């Protein structure tokens, strides 16, 4: 069955706006509406959606909105997807949804400007490519996100440690805007070096609020423990339960060290208390599975810890509490094992949430949504916490003298270098100094940029001009101390560039195949210089072609859909030329009819409950036969329903807040259909 998408050309919303600025804490507040009177907004903007009939809007409510007003919106077809502090939600609504009253201050489509990280504008990418994290709305099928990226010609990279609603995409930086134009996309921000290199990482799903989780597009939650403005706060902390995997003294030392790190950054002081569950107190607890807060841990890996944001929005006494999964391999200090978890690094990150910070978009920062081993807060973290609190009001003790900043280049190992290539990759190490180290490069022939990482660091495809290029690599620590190395790379005049043509099965850029494989053939020049020709398929598979100046591939297996076949010819100097052919292949199928599916109990598409589980019932039918009915939740729980024509689930676990339950019916031919139910648990 061919994929499809729809364009929503017009969508009229009545938009309310109270005098003054919005209270929504988006990272891009300048993108919000700022009208001072009711208007009719967004009557000509085009919004792209892969899913027909529904789209996502940003809705802001007045602080005194009543619960029955929110329930009325749900009964009118609105699904509450994510909480946007203060007093806002991302809603999934039908195309003809028209909010009226209901305590709304503003309702408008989620604009591309809301979805683009400022980090994409502040970072540089000399090679013109960027690795992006694409966050989808939690009610969006990840397959839809993959299809959107492929439609835009982007490459989706696999990584087993990504959050369920995150995609890792390699694409030109300019494509971030094209991604943000799609309704299914919630936010786009840079990927870290660890993710790009396929290293094992641990993700933080985000801190918790009583109104549900928040997205990456949220900067802060609440005004901090000091209230509105930049003030001071004095908080208690208590160790409610410790792990046996580390000595008790070491656990206290690592957590206290993390507390002190935030105290050095902002005017927040901590004092240990002897009783748990006190107001304005952070309780630290190690627990396994069910541990008393209705958010059970999931065993080793995945969720390492969770934290409750300050009061408000969370109530006392859970506000600010930090819980660690005791099933993890907790360590303190250097440890080379892949699955070990550094307690200080995780505690430092979670304490940022406990003080009111959302996730950072900047790779390398402590508050980035994927944990990294940390020794101190970065400048990005310092700037973030000082949007909630005043700067530290005490002079920290004089630190010991820092080791001198060191810088080494490990590849290439010997300079000067002579090459015909238009770019050069360098790598090395940096150390010593104070705090984080930034490695940057500059060329006397023009151009400058930043390296990836620190120890080690990498510069990918540094551009070269013909003739000598004097390259200066500089490592600078947070105190401004630096070390530099200048090396010379000479680029020789380029030889005749390779050229390649695909002649069979077509000379056009697209081709529709009737069989499950296709063979390519063509030419490459200059004839004496071509040493090899290779092919690859975007849908999977690669290999060498036979011949050089005249080449052929033999049968290449195709997958249903669009297969982009790239052929590349290389000469003896490493220069290359490529051509691509987009081959569409749709295998004949005898059954293309998806099952019909209906949820009969509950009858509504959005329900409000006060119990920890829910059971669903319904009916499924097919022109041949329904083979299976399954369910899954937005919190990564899933199972199989009993029965097919008349089906029912067992107890589906619910978390406090918004739960999206998706039911799918499958037939023997692999066709499927789905229905969703939004369950809000008080």
| Annotated catalytic residue within 130, 350, 380, 394 | 350
Closest listed residue to residue 181, CA positions, set 417, 24, 8: 8
Tell me the three state secondary structure of residue 498.
coil
| φ, ψ at 192 (rounded to 5°) | -80, 160
- Read off φ and ψ for residue 597, nearest 5 degrees: -140, 140
Q: Say how far apart CA 104 and CA 111 lie, in whole Å.
A: 18
* Tokens describing residue 138: 């939690």
- Do the beta carbons of residue 186 and residue 135 sit within 8 Å? yes
Cβ atoms within 10 Å of 242's Cβ, excluding its own: 19
The phi, psi pair for 631, rounded to 5°, reads -135, 155
Long-range contacts of 544-547 (CB under 8 A, 24+ apart): 545/520
With beta carbons less than 8 A apart as the criterion, state whether 190 and 119 touch: yes
Question: Are 194 and 338 a contacting pair, CB within 8 Å?
Answer: no
- How big is the chain by its Cα radius of gyration, in Å? 28
The dihedral over CA atoms of 481, 379, 187, 537, expressed in degrees to the nearest 10, equals 30
Most distant CA pair in the chain: distance in Å? 82
CA angle 558, 561, 565 (to 5 degrees): 50
Q: Is the dihedral of CA 347, 352, 356, 361 positive or negative?
A: negative
443: left (phi over 0), alpha (psi -120 to 50) or beta: beta
For residues 281 and 235, give the distance between their C-alpha atoms in angstroms, rounded to a whole number. 6
**Strand 130-136 versus strand 166-171 pairing type:** antiparallel
User: Helices 248-265 and 343-354: crossing angle, nearest 10°?
Assistant: 50
Q: Name the one residue in this structure whose structure tokens are 């043509």.
A: 501
Do 356 and 262 contact (CB within 8 A), yes or no?
no
Tokens representing residue 408 in the block: 């080494």
Report the C-alpha gap between 524 and 545 in whole angstroms.
Answer: 12
Question: What's the CA gap between 20 and 228, in Å, rounded?
Answer: 16
DSSP state letter for 267? S
Annotated active-site residue 350? The verdict is yes
Dihedral (Cα; 97, 99, 105, 106), 10-degree rounding:
20
Tokens of 503: 């002649």
The token duo for 103 is 């305590």
Query: How far is the C-alpha of 362 from the C-alpha of 190, rounded, in Å?
Result: 7
500's tokens: 């390649």
Residues 6+ apart with CB under 8 A from 524: 498, 499, 500, 501, 530, 533, 548, 549, 551, 569, 577
How far is Cα 218 from Cα 196, in angstroms, rounded to an integer?
A: 24
Joined together, the tokens standing for residue 461 give 């495809």
Q: Spell out the residues 6+ positions from residue 674 whose beta carbon is closer than 8 angstroms to its own.
A: 141, 597, 662, 663, 664, 665
Place of tokens 């390259």: 471
Which residues are catalytic, by number?
350
């Amino acid at each position: 069955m061919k994929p499809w998408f729809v364009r929503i050309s017009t969508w009229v919303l009545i938009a309310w706006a109270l005098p003054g600025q919005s209270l929504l804490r988006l990272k891009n507040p300048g993108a919000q509406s700022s009208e001072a009177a009711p208007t009719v907004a967004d009557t000509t903007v085009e919004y792209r959606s892969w899913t027909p009939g529904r789209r996502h809007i940003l809705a802001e409510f007045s602080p005194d909105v009543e619960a029955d007003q929110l329930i009325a919106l749900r009964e009118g077809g609105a699904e509450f997807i994510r909480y946007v502090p203060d007093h806002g939600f991302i809603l999934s609504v039908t195309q003809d949804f028209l909010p009226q009253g209901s305590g709304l201050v503003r309702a408008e489509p989620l604009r591309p400007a809301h979805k683009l990280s400022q980090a994409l504008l502040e970072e540089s990418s000399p090679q013109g490519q960027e690795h992006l994290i694409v966050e989808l709305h939690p009610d969006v099928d990840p397959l839809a996100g993959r299809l959107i990226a492929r439609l835009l010609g982007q490459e989706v990279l696999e990584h087993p440690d990504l959050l369920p609603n995150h995609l890792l995409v390699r694409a030109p930086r300019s494509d971030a805007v094209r991604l943000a134009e799609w309704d299914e996309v919630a936010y786009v921000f840079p990927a870290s070096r660890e993710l790009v290199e396929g290293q094992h990482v641990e993700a933080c799903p985000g801190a918790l609020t009583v109104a549900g989780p928040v997205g990456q597009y949220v900067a802060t939650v609440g005004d901090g423990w000091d209230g509105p403005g930049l003030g001071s706060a004095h908080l208690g902390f208590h160790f409610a339960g410790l792990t046996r995997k580390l000595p008790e003294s070491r656990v206290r030392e690592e957590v206290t060290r993390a507390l002190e790190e935030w105290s050095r950054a902002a005017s927040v002081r901590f004092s240990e208390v002897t009783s748990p569950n006190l107001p304005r107190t952070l309780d630290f607890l190690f627990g396994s599975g069910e541990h008393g807060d209705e958010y059970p841990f999931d065993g080793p890996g995945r969720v390492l810890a969770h934290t409750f944001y300050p009061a408000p929005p969370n109530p006392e006494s859970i506000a600010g509490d930090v819980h660690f999964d005791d099933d993890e391999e907790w360590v303190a200090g250097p440890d080379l094992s892949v699955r070990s978890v550094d307690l200080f690094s995780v505690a430092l990150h979670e304490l940022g949430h406990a003080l009111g910070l959302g996730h950072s978009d900047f790779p390398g920062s402590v508050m980035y949504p994927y944990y990294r081993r940390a020794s101190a807060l970065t400048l990005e973290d310092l700037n973030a916490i000082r949007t909630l609190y005043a700067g530290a009001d005490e002079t920290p003790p004089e630190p010991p003298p820092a080791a001198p900043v060191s810088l080494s280049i490990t590849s290439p190992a010997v300079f000067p270098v002579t090459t015909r290539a238009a770019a050069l990759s360098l790598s090395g190490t940096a150390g010593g100094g104070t705090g984080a180290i930034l490695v940057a490069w500059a060329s006397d022939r023009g151009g400058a940029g930043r390296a990836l990482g620190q120890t080690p660091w990498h510069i990918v495809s540094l551009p070269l001009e013909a003739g000598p290029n004097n390259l200066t690599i500089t490592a600078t620590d947070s105190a401004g101390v630096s070390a530099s190395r200048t090396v010379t790379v000479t680029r020789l005049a380029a030889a005749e560039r390779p050229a390649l043509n695909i002649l069979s099965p077509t000379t056009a850029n697209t081709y529709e195949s009737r069989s499950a494989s296709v063979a390519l053939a063509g030419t490459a020049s200059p004839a004496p210089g071509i040493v090899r020709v290779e092919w690859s398929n975007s849908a999977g598979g690669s290999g060498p072609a036979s011949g050089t100046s005249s080449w052929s591939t033999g049968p290449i297996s195709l997958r249903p859909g669009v297969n982009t076949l790239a052929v590349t010819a290389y000469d003896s100097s490493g220069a290359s030329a490529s051509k691509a052919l987009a081959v569409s292949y749709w295998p004949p199928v005898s059954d293309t009819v998806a099952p019909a599916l209906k949820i009969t109990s509950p009858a509504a598409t959005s329900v409000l409950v006060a119990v920890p589980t829910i059971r669903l019932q319904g009916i499924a039918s097919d022109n041949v036969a329904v083979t299976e009915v399954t369910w899954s939740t937005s919190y990564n729980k899933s199972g199989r329903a009993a029965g097919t024509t008349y089906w029912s689930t067992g107890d589906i676990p619910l978390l406090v807040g918004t739960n999206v339950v998706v039911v799918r019916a499958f037939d023997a031919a692999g066709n499927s259909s789905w229905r969703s139910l939004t369950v809000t648990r008080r």
